[in-house]
Homo-oligomer: A and B are copies of this chain.
Amino acid sequence: MADPVPPRLYLDDLSVGDRFRSATHALSEEDIKGFARVYDPQPFHLDDTAARQTLFGGLAASGWHTAAITMRLLVDGGLPLSSIIGLGGELSWPNPARPGDVLHVETTIQEILPSRSKPDRGVVQCECTTLNQRGDVVQILRPKLMVFRRPAA
């Protein structure tokens, strides 16, 4: 049997207070170093020995890596919208993600603002919290998303 297709939600389908939970992603040491080599080559993201001498006390993922993994978890059904188009938002990293962490994302719909000028869409304020397997929060993202209404049949 094929996997069930996840539902794809539109603006009309959302209510304030709706909650969604993503699948999980296991973060490896090699992934952390691979992302850092390309996008954030600082010692605490590249080398465990060097990282021990830093604020992080050991190898830690770049916050931008945590953000990118969070996006993938959301796109893969963690936030089952027809499309996920971010306008911007607030971002914080209360704890670093570490090698071996198993991450997932919990999302709450906080506000829904239908557009006055463009009736086919609205802006949705969400809170997306990324946690590891111990429940430590590694990222809080509060994005404003552009969400379309369901197209006319």
Contacts and interface: CB of A to CB of B under 8 A. Distances in A.
A33 to B, nearest CB: 15
Given A40-B72, A64-B71, A72-B40, A88 B92 contact: yes
A42 B38 CA distance: 22
Total identical chains: 2
Contact of A90 (B55, B83, B89): B89
Interface in A106-145: 140
A64 B68 contact: yes
A27 interface: no
B71 A62 contact: yes
Interface residues of A, number: 31
Interface in A45-75: 54-55, 62-64, 67-69, 71-72, 75
B93 A91 contact: no
A84 interface: yes
Nearest to A89: B91
Interface of A: 35, 38-42, 44, 54-55, 62-64, 67-69, 71-72, 75, 83-93, 140, 146
Contacts of A35: 68
Contact of A68 (B40, B54, B72, B92): B40
A68 B54 CA distance: 22
A78 B28 CA distance: 29
Nearest to A67: B64
A91 B71 CA distance: 15
